[in-house]
Amino acid sequence: MNVSLPDDLKGFVDSQVSQGNYGSTSEYVRELIRRDHGRRQLRAALLEGARSPIRGNADAAYFASLRDHAQTDS
């Protein structure tokens, strides 16, 4: 796969690599794709949750039970 970039974006990517943030331009692009993929998955999960029916109150007792459950699983 080849990607063409305008000079200013190519310069930015090259600076990320030269500063040691990434080993290569390919590594930088892969990281951007992974981040976008993760962001899209998170958005889909949040939208799914927003569409789901409400199953109870999220009051102090609810969060206390979540903490107790999380501590038991640890």
- Taking only the tens place, the pLDDT of each residue in 5-56 is 999 999 999 999 999 999 999 999 999 999 999 999 999 999 999 999 988 8
What does the alpha-carbon distance between residue 42 and residue 48 come to, in Å, rounded to a whole number? 10
Per-residue pLDDT at 6: 97
Q: Which SS3 state, helix, strand or coil, does residue 7 take?
A: helix
Is there a contact between 56 and 62 (Cβ–Cβ < 8 Å)? yes
What does the alpha-carbon distance between residue 25 and residue 11 come to, in Å, rounded to a whole number? 11
pTM: 0.66
- DSSP class of residue 54 equals P
User: Residue length, the chain?
Assistant: 74
Reading the block at residue 25, the tokens are 């331009």
Extents of the domains making up the chain: 7-73
Per-residue pLDDT at 74: 63
